Structure 1
Amino acid sequence: LRRLGEDVTEVLDYLPGRFRVLRHVRPKFSCRGCEAVTQAPAPSLPIRRGRASARLLAHVLIAKYADHLPLYRQSEIYARAGLDLQRSTLADWVGHSATLLRPLLNALARHVLAGAVLHADDTPVPVLAPGLGRTSTGRLWAYLRDERPYGGTTPPAVLYRYSPDRRAEHPKTHLAGFRGVLQADGYTGFDGLYDSGQVQEAACWAHVRRHFFELHATGQAPLATEAVRRIGLLYAIEQDICGQPSDSRARQRQARAGPILDSLRAWLDETLARVSGRSDLAVAIRYARSRWEALTRYVADGRLEIDNNPVERTIRPLA
């Protein structure tokens, strides 16, 4: 037979993960002259007297926190592979790993809190409540330092913190020592930070727009549609100046966004006087006007963003 060529068929396959035992053999030696016994020291392990390698610990942590796989379910998966790893053992490993990672967390916190501008947001997370037969609601907080929008070269980083509730004491503790501008939504729990005078507030135009857009989406609120259009003009400017140096961003905002904001403020005040004070549109207008100083702070400071969306994007996958 003469070979004419070949056809190749590719099939995607999967090789299940497997466990292995790493054996560290340490021979013992004795001196014939003095009978002293010598042996190489035991290998350094992540957990003292533990039997888990660094790779296995990393796998358990990623499965739990990145893939949202509870420890009891991991235990069941490992059992199918013929390995008996009780949930209590896995929980012990997670606790020890948290201690090992603490220096990295502290270094990350120092880096983030050293920034002059931070974005902050939080989201509810369900937390298992053993013995209650249900879950409780905790909070996951995110604090973002990102200087790339104005050409900064400092590596961006986000710091996550957990709390069992949403009390104002938690962000106050998380941001202890921070000095600068905090860009966040209208959560009153941040007010204590602003009142100290060491942290300035920068508000979020996306939240303002959302109130008007929900009314606009009904198709029966032309005034809300007009508000959305005017806010859209501000966002068009941001698309043009993204990535430029902070001083250039500030100059262009003052020249281009300043007049739009002056006109928008006057229009909001005129519209509020014409509509019912109990209407949803009036609520949206009062929300914007009550935060006007914080909403317009970004105009004169090119380091700030028009909204808090950067940090919301970091927390959305966890929500």
Structure 2
Amino acid sequence: MCLHFVIPSGARRSRGISQFMSDDRKTPEMRATMTDIERLRHSASHVLATAILKIWPEAQFAAGPPVENGFYYDVDLPHRISPDDFEKIETEMQKEIKANHPFERMEVSRDEALELGRKGRLAALSDRSEPSKFKLDIIENIPPDEKISLYRNGDFIDLCAGPHVMRTGNIGAFKLTNVASAYYKGDEKNPQLQRVYGTAFKTKKELDDYFCSMTTSAQVCRCFCRAARLSLKNWRSSQKKPSSPPAISASAHRTLREKFSTRRAAISPIISNQCSRLWHYTMTLFIPIGRLVLSRKMQKAT
């Protein structure tokens, strides 16, 4: 059984990951370099917002970008979204994907965008009594010389510079993964929003492989931690008197490493590299430091 993980958007990005994936507002030049998977995940965030509105029409939305391993949308909603709500949200998302609505781009003037925001029509399925407060704030911060565009899929219209896939049916396989709290624009003086995370891939197989690789990575990490604890425990029990912590032998290092080689070979290169770094830090940093701390404690005790 595969566990579901999410890497927060603020986490450090791996080398080779597109610089597009961050919380900062993207320039038109940066958006032009978006990869196919980023476009797909960006589109999935719009479908997520569409689904949430069909369940909770009063929801207000801030930003919904792609991130390193998926996408998210920040939402202001009286109802506290939990993983128990994911199934019904995903059901509505599936309906929107099955409808295969086109993503239509519309350029508007600043005044037109502000008028739609005051009517509550941005990031909404229809006009509402409450204005689209976060979208109005975003419009105010768009540079004067930058074009303002909207994207429509079905009844949902959002303030967005794009780009997107051609139709909602192109999104493929997706899964909601987590929900967390986030201040609007990362400022604790601003309202606290609910950040709903998900991930999406072109095929169901890619989605399944992603979750299985994350599960395998977690299992390997736990094995490394157990090995480190066992090594420290064995060393401590072998010390009859205070002494300097001995370095781990090459044979012991090789034996432990071979123990995990089969499992590591089955996972992706990125995860494998992460495990290699974890192994290095465990064997060269954490274990020696732990031994040194224990040795000093034993010396003080005597």
TM-score by structure 2 length? 0.24
TM-score by structure 1 length? 0.23
Max Rg structure:
1
Query: RCO greater where, 1 or 2, for CA within 8 Å and sep 6 or more?
Result: 2
